[in-house]
Structure 1
Amino acid sequence: MYQTISTQLENSSLIITINRPDKMNALNQTVMAELALAIDEVYSNAAIKSAIITGAGEKAFVAGADISEFLKLSPKEGEELAKKGHVIFHRIENSPKPIIAAVNGFALGGGCELAMACHFRIASDNARFGQPEVNLGLIPGYGGTQRLTQLIGKGKAIELMMTGDMIDAAEALKWGLVNHVTPLAELLPKAKGLLEKIHTKAPLAIARVVKCANAALDKDQDGFDTEVKEFAACFATKDLQEGASAFIEKRRPNFKGE
């Protein structure tokens, strides 16, 4: 079905693998189009409860964009390219189902931006992160200037983007860019284990957590007001009735997303 990515449904998680190992899994227009289709499937397929995005091989998650595509772009074409990237990455960021990045190796440029669009990130101990676009006379164009600043703070983000430097997995953990660091062999098992735990929780509540957390960073929304409204909406769900009943009855809840 796909040329540049592969997908596998495992225990209700869709594992999306950027599959261009000979190109260090670099993003090009085909990858972006196919990634958009895979994310559409996450949204629409009831059998999918979550997703993991990772890269093929051991060297790279996504080591940037396919620079050869940039050489002949006009400013207008560059704007359209960035807008398309924003739409896809916003879809990831706002997914009502958890989407996490399992970062194996280099996550540079668009790869770092893709990882940051996910709800959270797990890194292998050989992972490297960076936004080196200034080396090409560019800046991040898929939301990197915003998400990096949100995740690690303005000072550190500006330094990384101005110098084009990379940071290793340990530094990324210290700065809050990733949640966990594991040996490479344990990366996907760690990601799957976290999602299996999340799958036991109320799906509608999980979706509302995403919505409220994103509202906290949206200048056009009052995050506290969003929280009140989403909290209230939980009381119309069967999941709340099930969760509260299970707590009182000292049993495990059986949530159905209703």
Structure 2
Amino acid sequence: MNDAILKVSTHGHIGIVELNKPPHNFFDQTLIATLADAWEKFEADKNIRAIVLCANGKSFCAGADFSEKSTMNKKRSIKQTNPLYLEALRLYACTKPVIAAIEGAAIGGGLGVALTADFRISCPEARFAANFNRLGFHPGFGLSFTLVHLIGKQNAAKLFYTGARIDGTSALSLGLLDELVPQSDVRARAMALAEEIAVSSPRAVQATRQTLRGDFLDRVRLAVVRESEVQAVQMTTADLEEGVNAAKERRNPNFEG
């Protein structure tokens, strides 16, 4: 396990995974793959009955770092599914309940990471945004399905189209979060929920979860294929460059299509 970017531990029947790229925990393919590796190890460990995902830093996860030139203008065939999203599918494939403890911002793909969890515990100070369109490209990380699935098409469309950043209170009202607690209590409450789940029969919980999720994984898989196709074109455009520059300069973008 790469301790430089991830911290992994256990507490009783709970597996704990902490993103460790402060202050904003920007991800790349390596981080998502390492996170998936950790979850798969917990998947194989019969002692682990639930997983808590948290983060070290100001942000829970701010998605991809578009200040890095390597993140922008990556040429990829429209027939090739984004390799990072293929790693993300491994997170969605986890059969054990996951609770995300969100103490800071979950932005863009970072919101996608938060939505790989079954439950989200957060605080009023946290911020959430699906800001892809504001940056100049199509949503990714499966959010075109998972966000709609969670909060409904109308609410998801508004967040996508505007790129609006909302606080924890608004996120709770939309159904994006399950519980809102003081920032200092977020991790403790996530652990408490995991421990409550761990009291139940692990076989029964996993079977019930499978029933409730139905074809969830198949639909995420279809979503990331569509997302990858569109992004393969849009990630090399002038609109993307303008969107990223506007975000850096804290101004409205001037897209020309």
Matches within 5 A, 1:132-151: 132-151=131-150
Counterpart in 2 of 1:15?
A: 16
CA offset digits 1:182-202 (Å, max 9, x no partner): 111111110111111111111
Shift of 1:47: 2.6
User: Take 1:219 and 1:71, find their aligned partners in 2: how far apart are those partners?
Assistant: 28
User: Take 2:103 and 2:138, find their aligned partners in 1: how far apart are those partners?
Assistant: 24
Counterpart in 2 of 1:100?
A: 99
Tell me, yes or no, if the aligned pair for 1:50 and 1:99 is still in contact at 8 Å: yes
Tell me, yes or no, if the aligned pair for 2:123 and 2:169 is still in contact at 8 Å: no
Give the direction of change, closer, same or farther, for the CA distance of 1:170–1:216 in structure 2 (3 Å limit).
Answer: farther
User: Take 1:71 and 1:78, find their aligned partners in 2: how far apart are those partners?
Assistant: 19
- Greater relative CO, 1 or 2 (CA 8 Å, sep 6+): 2
Q: TM-score, normalised by structure 1?
A: 0.77
Percent of aligned pairs with the same residue? 30
Shift of 1:28: 1.2
Look up the SS of the partner of 2:112 in the other structure: helix
Match for 2:25: what amino acid?
Answer: N
Counterpart in 2 of 1:30?
A: 30
Structure possessing the higher radius of gyration over alpha carbons: 1
Counterpart in 2 of 1:45?
A: 45
Q: TM-score, normalised by structure 2?
A: 0.78
Shift of 1:12: 2.0
Match for 2:9: what amino acid?
Answer: Q
Tell me, yes or no, if the aligned pair for 2:99 and 2:121 is still in contact at 8 Å: yes
Counterpart in 1 of 2:193?
A: 194
Matches within 5 A, 1:176-187: 176-187=175-186
Look up the SS of the partner of 1:117 in the other structure: coil
Tell me, yes or no, if the aligned pair for 2:28 and 2:84 is still in contact at 8 Å: no
Look up the SS of the partner of 2:141 in the other structure: coil
Match for 1:107: what amino acid?
Answer: A
Give the direction of change, closer, same or farther, for the CA distance of 1:34–1:216 in structure 2 (3 Å limit).
Answer: closer
Shift of 1:11: 2.0
User: Take 2:78 and 2:91, find their aligned partners in 1: how far apart are those partners?
Assistant: 23
Match for 2:118: what amino acid?
Answer: H
Shift of 1:40: 1.3
Match for 1:40: what amino acid?
Answer: E
Match for 2:162: what amino acid?
Answer: T
CA offset digits 1:205-236 (Å, max 9, x no partner): 1111211121175788xxxxxxxxxxxxxxxx
Q: Does 1:6 align with 2:7?
A: yes
